[in-house]
Chain A
């Protein structure tokens, strides 16, 4: 050290500590964490005091009590005599129902429009881009409320219901479509379908293993699809091929028979699908554009067939880009389904809202639906991390 520096050794030891990085970091952390802790403690103690003052019960005991309110539609059996817990479960299943159907529809539509926006045809690109720009720049809540108004105010009533196809009725009471009549065969056809999927899955594993071991190619994709179609069809034949339909008819006061999609559900599904489609289309477009054309050229020069190029070269690379934002969009759709409360579809938030109004236990009510959404999000992000690890480039 130079003599100049030795002078600075005389500085106040307190200042040295104050300028020490570790010391500062510890102080900052204590300050922030202490602040957060104190704030939390203050809020919690206030809440407890308020609840005591307003004589509101705490805890989740209310879940076992009788709900005493009706729910207009539910996937699982429910009546007003059931408990609050059961009512909330109905809400969760309703949320999952609209979210899962919406995800399937939005994925199909989004893929089509996403491909349209990279088409060589200028007009098709134009339509795709116009659709995306229009529907993504209008708030989804406005779209939901609009579709709901169209169905309940714009569509005709029971007597003059629109009948675009034989057996399909569209009116301000919702959409009625014909379904297959009740028959034990249909349960087994469903079981057969699942068994077919499982069969196709194992076939794929076996064929990939054989490919690696012997180099023989087995067309597992077409054979697998065949299994998925053939197994339920055979089951249907075994049960005597029932074809009886349950067709909706206009009765004196209401529709009879058929399957009903309520105006709330239809509006929610339509709005969520059309809105999320725009985001999925963008995801698909960027995924396709992320694979350089050189990849296709290289694969062609290796002599691969064009269907294989798509499946083995382009798709795996595009999917790596597509899947993470796509799952994000699925999550968004699920979270946006909570807007159902604005048009009266009994989803989780709307049922919790009723529960909160009846019991006054706002803290527990909000806590329940926040926990449900948080766990869905965390589960999906766990899956995403697993997927990313599996799909990420393995570099040497």
Chain B
């Protein structure tokens, strides 16, 4: 609110005057405000002091571990030593180009899909082809590639696979659940409500436990499903339940007249849903949809509890190395930065998309 009023005021004069006036209005308008400003400067300064002296001034940047013994700050040799392990986990080191290719495919696929120009049914086809390609690049076994078991997939590669596949499959499932919950058919409605409410009511850990401990009991003897796939399905269902409620919120916000207009044009159910309702409804719920995706990305870290070797698990294993026992801060901060970059980028994209769509639809 304050921002808009400040911006609306005509600003004139040279840059120095303008910035002085800005400071006077935003930082020193009243004695209390000035006191708050000084207090804030103190806080920022003390945090930066600790951070910078630890991470830069007193840190050792050499690639050798010996340099760390004299340094009182961070030991970045650790990250230098470990980054391959954090990125690829226990994937055979001579084959590291394969997870690298997979990661590039996944991230570039995500980046391309963010561009509205590419939004068409063909994108879904491209994704399915892409997933099959990523799967075979990682698993091998064809075209002379050495087979690598899924148990050896790890690090950031596994995190990205879990997150991107999770997002790609949770969204359509959520759509079906949301449509089912809004349907007139009582039995379908009940099934969807039960699925949504059960998954929303329990922690993700319990879903993962179910996938890892209980699920093998569900299958007939001799049949087994890979634990990675089970965890992936658990994550998809869990997030789809949350996303379904987000989508349903969007659909509820569409005025009844839109439904009636579509009916009176003689559109059938699917035409009405996909051509009239969803384009408007999904546009309304971009921010909560993206924050569900961000949650999904962060929640992939929970697979560490059922023994999958994702980015967090790899780091945890790395800091248990007796040689690097005190370097856990560097390791955890490094992967925190990785998670942060992905999540922050997604949230910025969400804000951009929301604005962009609002601009393109306002008259």
A residues neighboring B (CB under 8 Å) = 25, 28-30, 32-33, 36, 43, 46-47, 49-51, 53, 118-124, 126-127, 133-134, 136-142, 145-146, 149-150, 153-154, 289, 293, 335-336, 338-339, 341-342, 349, 353, 356, 362-363, 365-366, 369-370, 373-374, 377-378
Contacts and interface: CB of A to CB of B under 8 A. Distances in A.
Given A47-B218, A142-B312, A373-B202, 15 more contacts: A25-B185, A29-B185, A32-B191, A46-B220, A49-B221, A123-B36, A123-B44, A124-B36, A127-B43, A137-B340, A138-B336, A141-B304, A153-B326, A335-B203, A374-B198
Interface stretch (B25-33, B57-65, B113-121): B25-33
Contacts of A120: 2, 26, 29, 33
Interface in B1-31: 1-2, 26-27, 29
B182 interface: no
Given A134-B340, A153-B326, A378-B201, A142 B332 contact: yes
Contacts of B1: 118, 289, 293
Contacts of B325: 153
B135 interface: no
Contact of B214 (A142, A154, A339, A362): A362
Contacts of B239: none
B218 A124 contact: no
A366 B187 contact: no
Contact of A139 (B36, B184, B213, B298): B298
Interface string B284-326: 0000000000100011011011000000100010010000011
A123 B340 contact: no
Nearest to B299: A139
B311 to A, nearest CB: 9
B91 interface: no
A207 B63 CA distance: 73
Contacts of B101: none
B33 A121 contact: yes
A150 B187 CA distance: 52
A225 to B, nearest CB: 25
Interface of B is mostly: helix
Contacts of B26: 120-122
Interface string B350-362: 0000000000000
A28 B184 CA distance: 12
Contacts of A43: 218
B9 to A, nearest CB: 14
B218 A25 contact: no
A382 to B, nearest CB: 12
Given A121-B33, A124-B36, A153 B219 contact: no
Contacts of A149: 319, 328-329, 332
Given A145-B316, A335-B202, A370-B202, A29 B188 contact: yes
A394 to B, nearest CB: 21
Given A49-B221, A122-B27, A137 B202 contact: no
Contacts of A47: 217-218
Nearest to A374: B201
23 contacts: A28-B185, A29-B187, A32-B188, A46-B219, A46-B220, A49-B221, A50-B217, A51-B217, A123-B44, A124-B36, A126-B40, A133-B344, A137-B340, A139-B299, A141-B304, A153-B328, A338-B203, A339-B203, A339-B205, A362-B214, A366-B214, A370-B210, A374-B198
Contacts of B187: 29-30, 32-33
Nearest to B204: A335
A103 B20 CA distance: 42
A353 B212 CA distance: 12
B339 A373 contact: no
B335 interface: yes
Contacts of B344: 133, 137
The 4 tightest CB contacts between A and B, nearest first, are A377-B201, A137-B343, A335-B203, A122-B26
Nearest to B212: A362
Contacts of A289: 1
A153 B330 CA distance: 13
Interface in B196-234: 198, 200-206, 209-210, 213-214, 216-221
Nearest to B192: A32
Interface of A is mostly: helix
Interface of B: 1-2, 26-27, 29, 33, 36-37, 40-41, 43-44, 184-188, 191, 198, 200-206, 209-210, 213-214, 216-221, 294, 298-299, 301-302, 304-305, 312, 316, 319, 325-326, 328-329, 332, 335-336, 339-340, 343-344, 347
A25 B184 CA distance: 9
Contact of B27 (A50, A123, A339, A369): A123
Contacts of B185: 25, 28-29
Contacts of A339: 203, 205, 302, 305
Contacts of A139: 298-299, 301, 312, 339
A341 B301 contact: no
Nearest to A44: B218
A140 B298 contact: yes
A390 to B, nearest CB: 21
Given A47-B218, A149-B332, A121 B27 contact: yes
Given A121-B37, A374-B201, A342 B213 contact: no
A122 to B, nearest CB: 4
A46 B188 CA distance: 25
Contacts of A49: 220-221
B197 to A, nearest CB: 8
Nearest to B328: A149
A146 B213 CA distance: 27
A122 B36 CA distance: 10
A185 B321 CA distance: 52
A341 B204 CA distance: 13
Contacts of B347: 133, 137
Contacts of B294: 137
A154 B319 CA distance: 13
B40 to A, nearest CB: 4
Contacts of A118: 1
Contacts of B305: 141, 339, 341-342
B202 A33 contact: no
Nearest to A122: B26
B191 A363 contact: no
Given A124-B36, A349-B206, A377 B200 contact: yes
Given A46-B218, A138-B339, A373 B203 contact: yes
A30 B37 CA distance: 66
